[in-house]
Chains A and B, each alone.
Chain A
Amino acid sequence: MKTNAATIAAPVVVRRIAKNQITVKRVLFYVALTVMAVPFILPTLWMISSSLKPIGEIFAFPPTLWSANPTLDGYVQAFELQPFVRQYFNSLYIALFVTAGTMFISSLAGYAFARIRFRGQNILFMIVLVGLLIPSEVTIVPLFQIFSGMGLINTHWPILLVSTFGAPSVLATFIMRQFFISLPIELEEAARLDGLGRFAIWWRIAMPLAKSALAAVAIFTFLAIWNLYLEPTVYLQSPELFTLPQALTRYADAYGGQLWNVQLAAATMTALPVLVVFVLAQKQFVEGLAQTGLKG
């Protein structure tokens, strides 16, 4: 190869060198990307591998990525120490309920703010706008006292109600409003001439066109509720009512000592399913969230 290159004309050599330089650059580029990827991917891998280690190996030195004697002890104990199945169900049903409720409420409100003219619209919109500006941490203390007065502490109601109707759903309403504003109005006008009422227009015409925005709303609502930590910590005290994030922090022996392998096993069971869904449907995730972020 080299002898060949030496014998042929100069311009070709220059091109070859340039090409080699590009290859080197390219390799360096991939090396850089790989190095940068470490803090993003290693914790997840470490979580999965450590959850399979026997307790004695958890803090072994030098650290090993894969145990020689993998065990499922942590996973078994995760179910024995807490009602983990029940907690999984709690998280899942709360997230699904709030996601469905938010999709319904925000698409209705978003549609009305975008399309229908009615008196007081701007005032009502301002009210909703306030919901967007106030982080839920500001209202957690009064809300606790309100729900305490209603006897709803240690039930799922505060989380279900506040998340579905309160501040967290407001961003969804904004996204839906922006989406419906950008939607061509001709189809709806045709439907109106056909005599369809608003509800029918919303449900039969507008909603089918809003699938991408709805998917985005669904994804970020689900993730937000799935990750909720302050609210469950404040409102729930019984282990059988706990949500997953709360349950993860409660894996301790009888006197408060941390059980790392059990905690990591439970964390893996919490994180992995969502991660798998993400990898399978990552296009929708990334683009949906980019869209909502830009518009919200």
Chain B
Amino acid sequence: MASSTPVLSDRARARSGGTRPRRALTYRQRDAAAGYLFVAPQVLGVTAFVLVPLALVVYFSLHEWNVLGNKFTYVGVENFERFFTDPQIVPVMQATGVFSIGLVFFNLVIALLLAVMLNRSMAGITFFRTIFFSPVVVSLVAWTIVWGFLFQDNGGINGMLEVIGIEGPNWLREGPTAMISVIIVQVFKNVGLNMVLFLAALQGVPRELTEAATMDGANARRLFTRITIPLISPTILLTFIITIVGSLQVFAQIAVLTQGGPGISTTVLVYYLFQQAFLFGEFGYGSVLSIVLFVIVLILTVAQWQLRKRWVFYEN
């Protein structure tokens, strides 16, 4: 180490100072220049691929693009008017809400349950942790295809139900069960991630605290609701936000399992957006739906900041 450092610094000196001594910059100036250079790719990238499209989506929402006729025409607020009179919007928003709430609820409850069960040192715990986590690394579409296969009317799940004498529903073709199926597929796909986050949080709960409470005679349930839950509340809030924003982005599962059906019972906002823009060629209306999605995410983000201030007391 001691012998290599001078060599490095020589080389560095030769590179930075030696070749262009035109004007002596102060260290601070050179450092700032490096700072701009370092962040440039990321800042330019976000500008070009997030901010500019975000501005253009407003422009596109005021236009209509007839793809086959090759016409791009200004239509004013027509697409926005359509949004407020579109009879599909209410069911689409309902489907989005039901999916998000169902997903978040089952995901967090199961994740917490698994984390509590696995938060102990017993033989085989690592094995089970691996199993619960494994769907996270299974390719999303592969996972969805297998579940789609299992959910067929004559597929594996109904086959197993029939063995024990139950006639299963036609999962993906009937309104309520289609939504339930989509939620199930997504819950088991990603619950491992939240489980690991909860596990890390549970392991961060100081042992003295729980021991002291046990000495004071608190039972297991009180211990959990009064001590553990508040202590890991920052993690709960974090996973809540990650999961709910993630739930708004669900696309592949819907596209592969139900294509938004039956009826439009599983047509969530992102799928509807995709359908309008890329299947029906309604790019103007698709832009309006993009803006709606953006506003929802914005509201959630602001709500998260407010919640953080009020609800979570134990954040460091």
Among residues 184 to 218 in chain A, which have CB atoms less than 8 Å away from a CB atom of chain B? 191, 194-200, 202, 204
Q: Is the CB of A33 within 8 A of B117?
A: yes
Shortest C-beta distance, B250 to chain A (Å), equals 10
Shortest C-beta distance, A61 to chain B (Å), equals 5
Binds A, one of B95-103, B138-146, B207-215: B138-146
Among residues 79 to 135 in chain B, which have CB atoms less than 8 Å away from a CB atom of chain A? 114, 117, 122, 124, 128-135
Q: Is the CB of B15 within 8 A of A197?
A: yes
Q: Does B48 contact A (CB under 8 A)?
A: yes
Q: Is the CB of B38 within 8 A of A198?
A: yes
Shortest C-beta distance, A65 to chain B (Å), equals 10
Q: Is the CB of B199 within 8 A of A290?
A: yes
Known: A130-B51, A166-B49. A118 touches B36 (CB 8 A): yes
Known: A62-B162, A264-B145. A128 touches B34 (CB 8 A): no
A44→B36 CA distance, assembly (Å): 47
Known: A33-B117, A134-B50. A229 touches B45 (CB 8 A): no
Q: Is the CB of B294 within 8 A of A275?
A: no
Shortest C-beta distance, B270 to chain A (Å), equals 5
Shortest C-beta distance, B306 to chain A (Å), equals 15
Q: Does A84 contact B (CB under 8 A)?
A: no
Between A and B, how many residue pairs show CB distances below 8 Å?
Answer: 315
Q: Does A39 contact B (CB under 8 A)?
A: yes
Q: Does B147 contact A (CB under 8 A)?
A: yes
Q: Does B47 contact A (CB under 8 A)?
A: yes
Among residues 28 to 79 in chain B, which have CB atoms less than 8 Å away from a CB atom of chain A? 30-36, 38-39, 41-54, 56-57, 60, 65
> What does DSSP make chain B's interface, helix, strand, loop or mixed?
helix
Q: Which of A133, A233, A278 contacts B134 (CB 8 A)?
A: A278
Q: Is the CB of A167 within 8 A of B46?
A: yes
Shortest C-beta distance, A271 to chain B (Å), equals 4
Q: Does A108 contact B (CB under 8 A)?
A: yes
Q: Is the CB of B34 within 8 A of A274?
A: no
A293→B241 CA distance, assembly (Å): 12
The 0/1 profile, CB within 8 Å of A marked 1, for residues 223-260 of chain B is 00000000000010011001001001101100110000
Give residues in B with beta carbon < 8 Å to A. Answer: 5-6, 8-9, 12-13, 15-16, 30-36, 38-39, 41-54, 56-57, 60, 65, 114, 117, 122, 124, 128-143, 145-147, 149-150, 152, 154-156, 159-160, 162-163, 184, 188, 192-193, 196-197, 199-201, 235, 238-239, 242, 245, 248-249, 251-252, 255-256, 270, 273-274, 277-278, 283, 286-287, 290-291, 293-294, 297-298, 301
Give residues in A with beta carbon < 8 Å to B. Answer: 26, 29-30, 32-33, 36-37, 39-41, 43-44, 46-47, 50, 59, 61-63, 105-106, 108-109, 111-113, 116-119, 121, 124, 127-128, 130-131, 133-146, 161-162, 164-167, 169-170, 173, 191, 194-200, 202, 204, 223, 226-227, 229-230, 233-234, 244-246, 248-249, 260, 263-264, 267-268, 270-271, 274-275, 277-279, 282, 285-286, 289-291, 293-294
